[in-house]
Chains A and B, each alone.
Chain A
Amino acid sequence: MSDWDTPVEETQVLAPKGEPLPVGENDSGLKWLSSRARRLTLSEGNLFLLLAIIIGMFSGMAVVCFRISIEWVRLGLLGSALAPSHLRVLLVPAAAGLVVAFLVQKFFRASRGSGVNQTKAAVYVFDGYVPFRTVIGKFLTCSLAIGSGQSLGPEDPSLQMGAGIASALGRRLKLSRDKLRLLAPVGAAAGLAAAFNAPISAVLFVIEEVIGTWSASALGAIVLAAVSAAVVMRSFLGGEPMFRVPAYTLAHPAELLAYAVLGVVSGVLSLAFTKIIAYFRPKLRALPEWTYYFQPAAAGLLIGLIGLQIPQTMGTGYPYIDQALHSQYTWEILAVLGFAKILTTSLSFVSGTPGGMFAPVLFIGAMIGGAIGGLEHHFFPQVSASVAPFALVGMGTFFAGFLRVPITSVFMVVETSGSYSIVLPVMISNTIAYLISREFQDVALFDLLAKQDGLELPSMEEQREQIVLRVEDAMRKPDLPPLQASDTLARALEIAESSTEELLLVRFPTGRWAGIARNDLPTMASAYPPETLLREALSTARLPILHPDQRLDDALRFIQGHPLLPVVGRAGSRKLEGVLSLPDILTAYQRAS
């Protein structure tokens, strides 16, 4: 295990040469260090942001090299023509599959699969730890697999490579566990942004699928990393949108119906694709381990056989998406390409060949979309637009249905095509596909794969679906009106006799609230005369206030140490809407579960 792979146990303190510093034994050395450190000091937050930029640049360059290496492998193994010779088509994916399987089984076991779940696992299971060996393994095996024609893409591996780079840097910097956990998604966003040339989609995907929340602490770093990665990638490989699309305008509102049909078909097909993978992957994983050496090769052979007739289904398929976007195929051919790609991608993925699902999903979506568009245009030329916008919308739609990331899918289409006018059909179609997929498949694909791998990763989709309990769901009416600051201690004693609350709430004219614990009343009565005004007796006391729309788990943090808290409206803190106690909160949670 290299130094980059050392897991973080505790925050270690090292001297400049790597030896533990005898703290306190060498004052002059300490002073020297102190002066040096002070000069270079960055706050932790700024350091983290700087690190995000550095991670973005590293990831960007790694992805550039990765993409170039895939192309070199493809040129070397399959040649420069889009339709390679039959011999190469038949032999190369199978032979490369053997090598890839050997590398994975012998050296890079963590390189199997797409990389998204592995990154999630790093965040939730391994404290942000992604071995650097995985980065190297992913780079080598995916280059070979994708370059040789396996039906997989470079985006998800790029995501994992970014996370791996970030993790390695974080470990070298001896960052805390919390920061390391945060760093993996930062790297993931950077890797994905560079691979897709789409920083917004990358940020959204990481938020939607990996971390699941719009955490302010992570968002800034994720955005910075994604942007810097995209900038680096663009400076080396050009800044053009990933797909060149003809101009699109919505000719007639009825056209949206045609896109709705696309949403339905894509939803059903994405569901079928998920089911195929969910069914066959564990079956192949259950075979004896020695078969793992041959599964990618067998998949490669089958892909080669399909590729003899349909070479478009090999590799990432991006050039063919471009062709579909330029109406170069009839709807019948587009349909064949879409179904064939489902088959080849299933073969590649379930065989354990390292590589991503994004590119094939976009390919399938584009072809299915184009086919539906072509078919509709054939029968209803006055309603339906040409094939190209359907292919474009289809990409996002299938993405939404298959990966279940509806927001990312919308932005991805807009960002990768540079066409904003398409957003309306994309939203309609994606939503339909997403809803269909969710209706008939409880667990999203990545969660399903994680479960098959024995990992219980948090499902971001489930998290999004969870009912959020709010204060208003738990609060109750006070049994008596609150005391006023102008009331006397005698009045408080009188009220206490008729109230069942542990705490008597006192309202000040300024909107401040205080409380008198029932148990404290005898002590107060002995310390102050009965005519003492409460405002004098409680001159410094202050209770936190809650609002009805606040999340109940936020309320939990405030209620610590208080038997009861006032719930007031946001329009004016003098009006008591209700009261909340810890038992009220627990009751609400019990009710909800």
Chain B
Amino acid sequence: MISEPQNIVSRYVQRRVLLFSLLLLALLFVITAALARTYHAREEGLVSEWFQKGNTDLADGKPGQAFEDFRNSLSYGPENTNVQLRLAEALLADGRLTEARSYLVNLWDRAPGSGEVNLDLAHVSMQTGDVDQTIRCFRGAILGSWEKEPALQRRKVRLELCEFLLAHRQNSEAEAEVAGLAADTPSENGVLREENGRLFLRVGEPGKALTEFEAALQINPRQSQWLADAGQVAFEDGDYLKAETYFSKADRESPSDEIHASLMLVRNVLGNDPFLAGLNDEEQARRSWRDFEQGLDRLRKCTGTRADNSSSGQSASDMQLLNKEAQDLQKRVKLGFLVKNPEMRNEAMQLVLRIEGATSQICGPATGMDEALTLIEKRHEGNNP
């Protein structure tokens, strides 16, 4: 039992000790804070040091070593998402998909809207062959947030997604992505417009591709490559007039054999197509006559070659039949008669087109004027000119 005076003294001592403890606590706080600050600085230094090393190793194509570096870095900054992401990428590059995926899923849980994480997850899924998941992750990356140059990053992802979709023959999906890409492309960027055009071509949309090329050419009308691209698209789309315009401009800006050959071909088509709109009967007859002569020449040459090469029985009988038809028609066809008789023009051209088709199969692809005739055939295929 403690008496009252003793109790008072005891309490006084307790207060003193408590006060002293608080002072000691404050001192210890200062010391601990200083220690912790130094420690954190050292930790951050190590995180950065190993991170740099990892990046260098990854860039040097040493993902295994990079992985070790990033792991070291992560041991000093376990919450550093940049390091985690790079570590996952190193694992991915090293083919350790399960481990990479585990890290990425963890990152995704924390930041499901991260473009980078979604993109890496797409790469993992791509390598594991999960097409649906890959597409989902790519789309997550497109819609996700990007710290640096978000528009450019999203475009890159979309391009990658397009490539992936095309590789998996999902053309309609790819077309939708390219359309999205085109919609997001700044109108003043000709390079990107041209890139869009090429993609539209790959997804089988030449009309939209041409629109993109033309948009690009509005920004820089003398860009020879874009002119050639536009010409090519117009050519493939059967719009030879446009193709001739673009090829001739391209040929002027930056002459090359390839462009010149394309230009000549287009000009041959335009100069020899008897069914071109706006031609009078005489011109149509003249063209038909010229084409007929060219067709007979091709047939003769091919028949001679065939005789040398002794083709198969079926081809031989076709050629004989064609030869016979050509000889019959040759007896009847005269330029003047063609002017007056559109039916005869059609008949002559039909035969020419059949000759070009048959000889292409037997004697190899047509060139020069014959190639132009083949294109004329394709252009009016199914039509009754």
Binding site for B on A (CB under 8 A): 11, 13-16, 21, 23-24, 30, 33-34, 36-37, 40-41, 47, 50-51, 54, 57-58, 61-62, 64-65, 68, 71-72, 75, 80-83, 169, 172-174, 236-238, 240, 244-247, 319, 322-323, 326-328, 386-388
Q: Is B17 an interface residue (CB 8 A)?
A: yes
The residue on B at minimum CB distance from A329 is: B99
- Looking at the complex, which of B6-14, B194-202, B305-313, B327-335 is the stretch in contact with chain A? B6-14
Residues of chain B with a CB closer than 8 A to A237's CB: 36
Chain B proximity of A182: nearest CB distance (Å)? 16
Asked if B79 is at the interface (CB within 8 A of a chain A CB), the reply is yes
B25 touches A58 (CB 8 A): yes
Q: Which residues of B contact A64 (CB under 8 A)?
A: 32, 35-36
Cβ-neighbour of B13 out of A14, A71, A319 (below 8 A): A14
Chain B residue with minimal CB distance to A240? B79
Q: Does B72 contact A (CB under 8 A)?
A: yes
Which residues 15-59 of B have a CB within 8 angstroms of A? 15-18, 20-22, 24-25, 28-29, 31-33, 35-36, 39, 42, 46, 49-50
Please give the number of chain B residues whose Cβ is less than 8 angstroms from any Cβ of chain A in the complex: 50
Complex Cα–Cα for A322 and B84 (A):
12
Whether B102 lies near A246 (C-beta < 8 A) is yes
Docked pose: A54 CA to B15 CA in angstroms:
13
CB distance from A280 to the nearest CB of B (A): 31
A80 touches B46 (CB 8 A): yes
What's the Cα separation between A58 and B14 when bound, in Å? 17
User: Which residues of B are found within 8 Å of A34, using beta-carbon distances?
Assistant: 8
Most chain A CB within 10 A, of B8, B29, B42, B106, is at B8
In contact, B5 and A24 (Cβ under 8 angstroms): yes
Question: Is B2 located at the chain interface by the 8 A CB criterion?
Answer: yes
Q: Can you give 6 contacting A-B residue pairs, CB < 8 Å? A: A23-B3, A36-B15, A174-B13, A244-B78, A246-B105, A328-B96
A23 B10 Cβ-Cβ under 8 A: no
Does residue B98 face the partner (Cβ distance < 8 Å to A)?
A: yes
Assess the A33–B12 pair: CB atoms within 8 A: yes
Establish whether residues B98 and A327, one from each chain, have CB atoms under 8 Å apart when the complex forms: yes
Q: How far apart sit A328 and B44, CA to CA, in the bound complex (Å)?
A: 24
* A236: B residues at CB distance < 8 A: 32-33, 36
What's the Cα separation between A429 and B48 when bound, in Å? 40
Bound together, the chains give a CA A327 to CA B29 distance in angstroms of 39
Shortest Cβ distance from B106 into A: residue: A246
Q: Is B68 located at the chain interface by the 8 A CB criterion?
A: yes
- A14 to B13: give the CA distance in the assembly, Å: 7
Q: Is B71 interfacial (CB 8 A cutoff)?
A: yes
Q: A37-B15, A80-B46, A327-B102 are in contact. Are A11 and B75 (CB under 8 A)?
A: no
B-side contacts of A23, CB under 8 Å:
3, 5-6, 9
Contacts of B36 in A (CB 8 A): 64, 68, 236-237
| B33 nearest CB neighbor, chain A only | A236
Contact residues of B: prevailing secondary structure: helix
Q: Name the contact of A61 in the complex, choosing from B9, B11, B32, B96 (C-beta under 8 A).
A: B32
Report B102 CB to chain A, min CB distance, Å: 4
Q: Is the CB of B11 within 8 A of A72?
A: no
Known: A326-B106, A388-B102. 9 other contacts (CB 8 A): A16-B16, A33-B8, A37-B11, A80-B46, A169-B21, A172-B17, A173-B17, A174-B14, A236-B33
Closest Cβ neighbor of A387 among chain B residues: B102
User: In the bound complex, what is the Cα–Cα distance between A214 and B112 (angstroms)?
Assistant: 43
State whether B8 touches A37 (Cβ < 8 A).
Answer: yes
A13 engages B29 (CB within 8 Å): no
Q: Is the CB of A328 within 8 A of B102?
A: yes
* B16 with A82: CB separation less than 8 A: no
A327 contacts which of B25, B79, B99 (Cβ < 8 Å)?
A: B99
Which of A64, A246, A388: most chain B Cβ within 10 A?
A: A246
- Residue of B whose beta carbon sits closest to that of A320: B75
Do A50 and B18 have beta carbons less than 8 Å apart? Answer: yes
Contact flags B136-156 to A (C-beta < 8 A → 1, else 0): 000000000000000000000
Looking across the interface, which residue of chain B has its beta carbon closest to that of A27? B5
**Within B42-93, which residues are at the interface with A (CB < 8 Å)?**
42, 46, 49-50, 68, 71-72, 74-76, 78-79, 91
Residues in chain A near residue B343, CB distance under 8 A: none
Question: Is B258 located at the chain interface by the 8 A CB criterion?
Answer: no
Whole-angstrom distance between the Cβ of A66 and the nearest chain B Cβ: 10
In the bound complex, residues from chain B placing their C-beta under 8 Å from that of A37 are 8, 11-12, 15
> Given the complex of chains A and B, what is the CA–CA distance between A386 and B105 in angstroms?
12
The 8 Å CB contact of A21, one of B2, B9, B39, is B9
B16 & A326 in contact (Cβ 8 Å cutoff): no
Question: Is the pair A80, B50 in contact by a Cβ cutoff of 8 Å?
Answer: yes
CA–CA, A246 to B106, complex, Å?
5
Assess the A246–B18 pair: CB atoms within 8 A.
no
Q: Does B109 contact A (CB under 8 A)?
A: yes
